[in-house]
């Protein structure tokens, strides 16, 4: 039995309606295996929480930074994307409380798990909003999400990995990265690419994707890790 008081302590929120915090971590796959479960999945709460999160972050950026709309949009995206939200969810130990199918429960380090965690994070925000009010949700978002902004700005995490890798490579080694398709497979409607990112002749890292662009971005992200440039 999950002890949700531990999660409440992490969130610094005591729920009046305990079903809301439980529902926030119910993935659709769990109900496929447990149709008798007394609560619905978390997708409606996620829908609500996504809107609350975006409003709180947008309001904060608008009130605190005079930057143009385009820059603020990039900063907001860096704060509320699936990667960032899933990392925050892991810090809060939300993973320990998820209701998942047996298959999803085994799939620990996948992109799918990242999305499940990010969605649960948004659903929890929606649950706080419903159980308390906008101000309570705002307080939690400031403490867990907006607190990441200084690091995002310092390390320019609002840039996509390709832009970031290029900027750092030019600054530190005076070289503009190049990308080369190393492997291409699959039929036209389902192509798979492996792309390498190079600094002159040095193969720094490889990335995979369903398009050359996606594989290049993945390669740049791996390149940042390989060079310890993150």
Q: Which residues contact 112 (CB under 8 A, 6 or more apart)?
A: 104
Quick one: pLDDT at residue 156? 85
pLDDT tens digit sequence for 131-159: 999 999 999 999 999 999 999 999 888 98
Please state the domain count of the chain: 2
Domain final residue pick, 154, 186, 214: 154
Does 190 lie in the same domain as 88? Answer: no
Q: What are phi and psi of 202, to 5 degrees?
A: -80, 120
Quick one: pLDDT at residue 157? 86
Helix 69-80 × helix 43-64 angle, to 10°: 140
d(CA 58, CA 60): 5
d(CA 220, CA 83): 16
Query: Could you tell me the residue range of the domain that residue 56 belongs to?
Result: 4-154
**pTM given for the model:** 0.79
pLDDT tens digit sequence for 29-61: 999 999 999 999 999 999 999 999 999 999 999
Domain final residue pick, 127, 154, 181: 154
Task: Provide the CATH number for the domain around residue 98.
Answer: 1.10.1520.10
SS3 74: helix
Looking at residues 58-80, what average pLDDT do you find? 95
pLDDT tens digit sequence for 1-28: 789 999 999 999 999 999 999 999 999 9
Quick check: 230 pLDDT over 80? no
Does 82 lie in the same domain as 17? Answer: yes
User: Which residues are designated catalytic?
Assistant: 50, 122
Looking at residues 176-189, what average pLDDT do you find? 94
Does 175 lie in the same domain as 123? Answer: no
Quick one: pLDDT at residue 85? 97
Does 192 lie in the same domain as 106? Answer: no
């Amino acid at each position: 039995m999950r002890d949700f008081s531990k999660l409440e302590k992490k969130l610094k929120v005591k729920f009046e309606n305990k079903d809301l915090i439980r529902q926030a971590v119910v993935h659709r796959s769990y109900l496929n295996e447990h149709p008798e479960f007394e609560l619905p999945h978390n997708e409606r709460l996620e829908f609500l929480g996504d809107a609350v999160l975006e409003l709180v972050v947008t309001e904060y950026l608008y009130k605190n930074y005079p930057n143009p709309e385009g820059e603020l949009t990039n900063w907001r995206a860096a704060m509320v994307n699936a990667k960032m939200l899933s990392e925050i969810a892991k810090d809060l130990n939300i993973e320990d409380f998820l209701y998942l199918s047996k298959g999803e429960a085994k799939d620990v380090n996948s992109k799918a798990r990242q999305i499940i965690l990010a969605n649960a994070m948004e659903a929890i925000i929606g649950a706080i909003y419903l159980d308390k009010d906008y101000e309570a949700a705002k307080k939690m978002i400031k403490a867990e999400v907006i607190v990441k902004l200084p690091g995002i700005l310092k390390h320019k995490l609002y840039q996509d990995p390709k832009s970031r890798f290029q900027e750092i490579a030019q600054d530190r080694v005076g070289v503009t990265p190049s990308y080369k398709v190393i492997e291409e497979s699959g039929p036209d409607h389902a192509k798979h690419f492996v792309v390498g990112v190079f600094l002159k002749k040095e193969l720094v890292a490889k990335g995979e994707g369903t398009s050359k662009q996606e594989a290049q971005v993945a390669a740049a992200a791996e390149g940042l890790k390989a060079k310890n440039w993150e």
